Amino acid sequence: MTRRHISFGSPFESQIGYSRAVVEDGWIFVAGTTGYDYETMTMPESVIDQAANTLKTIERALSEAGASLDDVVRVRYILPDPADFEPCWPVLRAAFARARPAATMMVAGLMTPDMKIEIEVTAKRSR
């Protein structure tokens, strides 16, 4: 089968050497994504705003792969501060209400101190 790489041209993709997403055999693997606004290269202060930005980037990658948030089967949330997770629940619930993917939340340091959440998803195209 053919492997396809999705890139948005973020400086991180070229500097680190990864793709925003990889599509193969109907599966879409979206890289860990943080809350950057890639047009302004700014990071909101609020974990809720970061989660919303993160989901927009993930949704864009899935769309480019021919899928949507409804096709997500696995999600991993990574947060440096576990107390920041619960405030994100309404945003996360709205994004994944239909898919109801298997989920894991991990506590770990992220690349910079201003990053409060990173989300990674795996999706399977249903069409």
Rg of the chain over all Cα atoms, to the nearest angstrom: 14
pLDDT in tens, 23-63: 999 999 999 999 988 778 899 999 999 999 999 999 999 99
Residue 115 domain boundaries: 3-124
What's at 120, amino acid-wise?
E
Q: How many domains does the chain have?
A: 1
Q: What angle do CA 94, 79, 11 make, to 5 degrees?
A: 90
pLDDT in tens, 61-100: 999 999 999 999 999 999 999 999 999 999 999 999 999 9
Residue environment code for 56-94, b if the CB has 16+ CB neighbours within 10 A, otherwise e:
ebbbbbbebbebebebbeebbbbbeeeebbeebeebbee
pLDDT computed for residue 14 by the predictor:
84
Average pLDDT, the chain: 94
Read off the pTM: 0.94
Q: What is the CATH number of the domain that holds 34?
A: 3.30.1330.40
